[in-house]
Copies of this chain bind each other. A is one copy, B any other.
Amino acid sequence: MTREKLMNVEEFRRALEKSGFDAVVAVSQPNVFYTSGAFITTQKSIPSRLAMTVLPKEGGDVLLVCNIEESLARTESWIEDVRSYVEFAQSPISLLADVLTEKGLADGRIGVEKKYLSAAFYDELVEALPRTRFEAGDSLFDEVRSIKTIGEIERYRQAGLATERALVEAFREAKVGQTERELRYSILDKLARLGASNTNFATLAAADQSWHGHPPARDRELQPGDLVRVDVGAAFDVYGSDVARMAVVGNPTELQREIYAKHRQVQRKAIEYMRPGVRACDVFQRCVQTYAELGIQCPGPHVGHGFGLGGHEIPMLQPYNTLELRPNMLICIEPVVMLKGIGGFQLEDLVLVGEDGAEILTTYADTQELFVIR
C-alpha cells in the first residue's frame, strides 16, 4: 500500500526553486523515505546497496532501487517512475547517471547529499558525468525536514510518549538485584509491546558506567546507590523517538538528589526560553548560564538537537549555531552532565516549537523527582 505522504511538498518545492539546482538527488534513508514513501531497510544494513530519488526542479521524480527492493518500493512509494539496477551487474551510480542524462540534466547543476554519499561513489558519479556541476545539496533536505508537518508531529508525539511510558513502566517494575541487562531488556520488551518495530539505540549506563557516553549494559546486579541513566531511540513503523530518563536504586544521597534537581531545572529553563526567533546557540548559552548559577560547569558539546527521520537533525543546539528556531520544529532537549565518581545526569524530552513558545510532548509521567527503584 502506498504510504501516506507526510513530506512538506510546498516547502520542498520552494526550497528547490530557491536553491538554483536543476535537480537534487536524495541518497540517505531519511531523505529517500521523505521524498518517496519507500522505506528501504537495507539502506542502513547494506550501505553499498544504494537507493535514491532524483527530484528535478521541473518535476518528474524518479525512484532508483536495487532489484531486490523493487517490489516493495513499487508498493510503498507514491513515485510512479521506479527504476531498478541488478546488484553487481550494474552500479547504482551508472543507473543514476543514465537517469540524469535521460532527464536532460547532464549539463545541469545537481545537489547531492555529500555528507552521506561515500567518496568512492561520488568519484564514480563525477567521472560518469564530467559536464555536470555536482554540489552539496544536504542543507536543502535538512532545512525542509526541520519544519514538521502536522502528520509528522502527531507520529513523533505518539512515538515519544510510548517510549517514555516504556521507560517509566520498566523503572516501576525494576528491583534491586535485577541486572543491568535485564532492566535494559525490560525496557525493550515494553517498547515492543507498545508498538515499537525496532530499537535504533538503547543505552543503559549504571553506577560506575553512568558517566560514560554509551557503554554496554552488563550482567552486573543493580545495587543500592546506583544511578541508572537510560537513553533510548525506538522506531514505531518508521517514526522514531529519543528519550532519556534517570533512576536511583534505593534512597538517593543528598548529592544525587541535589544535582538531579539542578540538572532538571536547567532543562526546564531552556524549554521555557525556546520560541521562534531564538537562536540555537542562545539555547545552549542559556543552559551554560543556568548551570553556572547552580555551580555546575556545562560540558557541552550540545544541549539538544532537532529530531526527525535522521535522529540528530538541525538545529543542533550547540554554541556555534546561529540558526533561529521556527514554528513546527521538533527538538530533543537534553543537557547532559557527566561527573566522574558521582554520576552521569541526563533527561531528554521531545519539545515542539510553537508560535508562542515550546510545548513538551513527552508528558507521560513527571520527572520532578529522581525515580527510586526499591
Chain A residues at the B interface, C-beta cutoff of 8 Å: 39-42, 44-48, 66-72, 75, 86-89, 112, 114-123, 136, 138, 181, 185, 188-189, 192-193, 197-203, 211-217, 233, 237, 300-302, 311-312, 316, 318-321, 338, 340
Q: How many copies does the complex hold?
A: 2
* Beta-carbon contact of B48 and A312 below 8 Å: yes
Q: A41-B201, A188-B192 are in contact. Are A71 and B119 (CB under 8 A)?
A: no
* Beta-carbon contact of B237 and A216 below 8 Å: yes
- Could you tell me the distance between the alpha carbons of A197 and B214 in the complex, rounded to whole angstroms? 13
Q: A69-B214, A71-B212, A72-B215 are in contact. Are A118 and B114 (CB under 8 A)?
A: yes
- Could you tell me the distance between the alpha carbons of A112 and B193 in the complex, rounded to whole angstroms? 43
Q: A72-B214, A192-B185, A201-B41 are in contact. Are A301 and B118 (CB under 8 A)?
A: no
**19 residue pairs bridging A and B, Cβ less than 8 Å apart:** A40-B214, A42-B201, A44-B44, A45-B200, A47-B116, A71-B213, A72-B215, A75-B212, A86-B301, A87-B300, A88-B316, A89-B301, A89-B319, A114-B119, A114-B120, A120-B138, A185-B193, A198-B199, A216-B237
Residues of B within 8 A of A201 (CB): 41-42, 45
A210 to chain B, nearest CB (A): 11
* Beta-carbon contact of B318 and A88 below 8 Å: yes
* Beta-carbon contact of B233 and A45 below 8 Å: yes
Beta-carbon nearest neighbor of A218 in chain B: B1
Beta-carbon nearest neighbor of A117 in chain B: B119
Which listed residue, B41, B197, B311, touches A45 by the CB 8 Å rule? B311
Q: A120-B136, A312-B46 are in contact. Are A319 and B88 (CB under 8 A)?
A: yes
* Beta-carbon contact of A41 and B214 below 8 Å: yes
- Pairs of residues from A and B, 5 with the lowest C-beta to C-beta distance, nearest first: A119-B122, A87-B301, A88-B318, A114-B120, A68-B213
Residues of B within 8 A of A66 (CB): 301
* Beta-carbon contact of A213 and B69 below 8 Å: yes
- Could you tell me the distance between the alpha carbons of A215 and B197 in the complex, rounded to whole angstroms? 12
Which listed residue, B112, B120, B213, B319, touches A72 by the CB 8 Å rule? B213
Which listed residue, B70, B88, B301, B338, touches A320 by the CB 8 Å rule? B88
Residues of B within 8 A of A123 (CB): 114, 119
- Could you tell me the distance between the alpha carbons of A319 and B48 in the complex, rounded to whole angstroms? 17
* Beta-carbon contact of A115 and B48 below 8 Å: yes
* Beta-carbon contact of A71 and B318 below 8 Å: no
A70 to chain B, nearest CB (A): 8
* Beta-carbon contact of A88 and B321 below 8 Å: yes
* Beta-carbon contact of B300 and A86 below 8 Å: yes
- Could you tell me the distance between the alpha carbons of A302 and B215 in the complex, rounded to whole angstroms? 36
A182 to chain B, nearest CB (A): 10
Beta-carbon nearest neighbor of A47 in chain B: B116
- Could you tell me the distance between the alpha carbons of A213 and B112 in the complex, rounded to whole angstroms? 27
* Beta-carbon contact of A88 and B301 below 8 Å: yes
Residues of B within 8 A of A193 (CB): 185
A334 to chain B, nearest CB (A): 12
